[in-house]
């Protein structure tokens, strides 16, 4: 099969803010700010409120390792040309 006939998913770059959490006893000097993150992945699913990216996918639509990010947490989104 020619690799030109494979339907490749979009590749997406995200800059987003993740929640911060801790367990156990803490003092108030701990920085509990949201964490800025940078992610590149294959677009697996997009809904009104969230986007799901995977790290690896195949030509049959299966994927391995995925992450779902609420759109409200996304600060920047770009399509990546591969």
pTM over 0.85: no
Over 50: is that where the pLDDT of 1 sits?
no
Residue pair 17/37 in contact by the 8 Å Cβ criterion: yes
Tell me, what's the pLDDT at 5? 56
Which strands make up the sheet holding 50-57, listed edge to edge?
A: 63-70, 50-57, 35-46, 11-18, 74-80
SS3 category, 28: coil
Over 60: is that where the pLDDT of 33 sits?
yes
**In the CATH scheme, what architecture does the domain 3-20+33-80 have?**
Roll (2.30)
What is the residue extent of each domain of the chain? 3-20+33-80
Which candidate, 64, 28, 67, places its Cα nearest to that of 50? 67
Tell me, what's the pLDDT at 4? 53
């Amino acid at each position: 099969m020619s690799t030109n006939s494979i339907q490749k998913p979009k590749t997406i770059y995200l800059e987003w803010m993740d929640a911060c959490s801790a367990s156990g006893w803490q003092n108030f000097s701990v920085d509990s700010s949201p964490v800025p993150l940078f992610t590149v992945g294959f677009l697996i699913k997009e809904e009104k409120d969230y986007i799901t990216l995977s790290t690896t996918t195949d030509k049959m639509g299966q994927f391995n390792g995925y992450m779902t990010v609420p759109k409200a947490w996304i600060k920047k989104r770009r399509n990546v040309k591969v």
